[in-house]
Amino acid sequence: MDKQRAKQIADSPVMANVTYNDTAVYIQHVSEENDTVRIYPLGQPENEQNVSVSQLVEN
């Protein structure tokens, strides 16, 4: 996924089907400076992590 699309998804009120390592995730924030995103697996907000935007897949 590219940074612009990740930002669109994060800003949208509509939930998109995005995965990281075959796990459905929610995008919290997109970092403009270093092309990373703050995500967590759906239903597990306590498991936040920062990953490269290129590792996300929109299904």
pLDDT in tens, 1-59: 999 999 999 999 999 999 999 999 999 999 989 999 999 999 999 999 999 999 999 99
CA atoms of 11 and 29, how far apart (whole Å) = 9
Helices and strands (H and E) in the chain: how many? 1, 5
- Identify each DSSP E strand in the chain by its residue range: 18-20, 23-31, 36-41, 49-52, 56-58
Residue with tokens 């498991």, as numbered in its chain: 47
Number of domains the chain contains: 1
Task: Give pTM, 2 decimals.
Answer: 0.90
- What is the extent of the structural domain holding 43? 3-58
Q: Rounded to an integer, what distance in angstroms lies between the CA atom of residue 52 and that of residue 31? A: 10
